[in-house]
Amino acid sequence: MPQYGEGQLFSARQEVRVLRWPVEVQELEQLRRRGILRLLVVENGATPPIPSDSREDWVRAPVSRADFAARVAALRARADLDVIPVLDQDGLLRYGSRMVPVSPTQMELLQPLVERFGTLVARHELIAVLRARRGTASQNALDLNIMRIRRKVVSLGLRIRTANGRGFLLESSE
């Protein structure tokens, strides 16, 4: 049986973090936000979580080497098919193997767009993000920031689509 423990890394193609469930639930939330592949080892008869996305899976302890390797390989294979953007704490937006730096304001506006990749984020939600940051916000200020973000994300193979009067969605342009 493979040894596993806090934040163990396996890096062949993509990083897979191995976490003990439910002991390392706080680290799990951070890894989910960063879009890192996660394999949870469910211990002591705990109820396994429902995976939040295709970048997460679980196995029950004890696990055989073959089962462990198969789960890691399956996670990596799904990740290769399901590339999602990741916005890190340092202000870098990553998509696939490419990345672009974004300003603090752009980072805050991108956060809900990245979290709900491929789905609509309401205009009023993004205006509220600007208002919280600056104290005031207008539709024009939002549109100007979205225009600047559009220029940056195009180099990653992403685009921001507008649903007139309703909001915006971030999606792949490839």
* pLDDT digit string, tens, across residues 109-148: 999 999 999 899 999 999 999 999 888 889 999 999 999 9
Query: Helix, strand, or coil here: 149?
Result: helix
Question: How far is 145 from 80, CA to CA, in rounded Å?
Answer: 31
Taking 3-state DSSP, the helix, strand and coil percentages for the chain, each rounded to the nearest 5, stand at 40, 25, 35
pLDDT over 80 (residue 12): no
Partner residues linked to 7 by β-bridges: none
The average confidence (pLDDT) of the chain is 87
pLDDT over 60 (residue 3): no
Tally of CA atoms within 13 A in the half-sphere of 55 that contains its CB: 20
Is pTM beyond 0.75 here? no
- Phi and psi, residue 100, nearest 5°: -145, 140
Per-residue pLDDT tens over the stretch 60-109: 999 999 999 999 999 888 876 667 898 988 899 988 778 999 999 999 99
